[in-house]
Amino acid sequence: MIKLGRNDACWCGSGQKYKKCHYNFDSKIEQAEREGHEVPTHDLIKTPEQIEGIRKSAAINIAVLDYVAEHIKAGVTTEEIDRWVYEQTTQRGGIPAPLNYEGFPKSVCTSINEEVCHGIPDKNIVLKDGDIINVDCSTILNGYFSDSSRMFCIGEVSEEKKKLVQVAKECLDVGLKEVKPWGFLGDMGQAINDYAMAHGYTIVRQIGGHGIGLEFHEEPWVSYVSKRGTEMMMVPGMVFTIEPMVNMGTADIYEDEDNGWTIRTEDGKPSAQWEIQVLVTEDGYEILAY
Ligand code: MF3
Ligand code: CO
């Protein structure tokens, strides 16, 4: 990184002098780095213009999931959900980010019961009474990425599955409390893991959240089994997802060998996940997509 002079134009593009803009901000980051913390590079700190672009992308993602919420029910196939997502996204000028992403064949991930994530929509998969399903949507608009997912309970769902879905949602609130500038991602990770464990659940270790905005998956990788005071420092302008996968039984998972995507719990017990996309602000956070 080139060291700017105090009177140089700030790296953020504001047009202001560095000393009047991100000088103190960078000093804080450099201090943390000297203390041995992981810190974000400048390209992970979004400008106001980029944040506005991400917000507009996120508005589509939210609308698409709202549409799914209104229409999802027993008897619907996951292929139909895929079609809704494709149509609702493109009608609003967006592109579904999963489509052709590293070869993913569909516009959305649909993960039912013991499927942890990355379920592939299929015309032969019919939602039935008692299922729980995660619908994970991601949108590209003008090059800006958004990503969020929600759980849906189909018809009469058992009390124990309902509880899992509820606690997985509460994990986001617990995590959000820890999202503030100059804190650490591990503060959030530990809070979420502690909360899930207190309810007798486990958190998937190998798959986590991610930075997002100019790419689908940016640095940092975000763990929800991390420890307070560790992992990357959170600074204003960072955008990342909170998306812990909460398992009723073991935390262990495996990948479907045939399709190379779908992740399932090792013990076949249910898993639940909600995902939001957040921006770190000067005094806390803003939820961009849910
Ligand atoms: N939406 C997922 C996430 O939260 C990524 C899915 S990648 C895909 O990161 F290719 F499977 F869509
Ligand atoms: Co994500």
Q: Which residue has the tokens 């000297």?
A: 34
The amino acid that residue 117 corresponds to is C
CA distance linking residue 57 with residue 38, whole number of Å: 29
Q: How far apart are CA 51 and CA 75, in angstroms?
A: 39
Please work out whether the CB of residue 114 comes within 6 Å of at least one atom of ligand 1: no
The span from the CA of 24 to the CA of 199, in Å, is 42
- Which helix (H) or strand (E) segment holds residue 213: the answer is none
Choose among 125, 119, 129, 122: nearest CA to 153.
129
- For the chain, the structural domain boundaries read 38-289
Q: Which atom of ligand 1 is nearest to the CA of 217?
A: 9
For residues 216 and 187, the answer to whether their CB atoms sit within 8 Å is no
* Least distant ligand from the CA of 212: 2
Residue-wise pLDDT for 2-52, tens only, equals 689 999 999 999 999 999 999 999 999 999 999 999 999 999 999 999 999
Q: Is 82 in the pocket of ligand 1 (CB under 6 A)?
A: no
The helix or strand, by DSSP H or E, that contains position 60, with its residue range, turns out to be helix 48-71
Cβ–Cβ under 8 Å, residues 195 and 202: no
Give 1's pLDDT tier (boundaries 50, 70, 90): low
Distance 20 CA to ligand 2 centre (A): 35
The strand order across the sheet containing 284-289 reads: 218-222, 209-211, 239-242, 276-281, 284-289
CATH class of 38-289: alpha beta
What tens digit of pLDDT does each residue of 250-289 get? 999 999 999 999 999 999 999 999 999 999 999 999 999 9
Helix (H), strand (E) at residue 221:
strand 218-222
pLDDT in tens, 94-137: 999 999 999 999 999 999 999 999 999 999 999 999 999 999 99
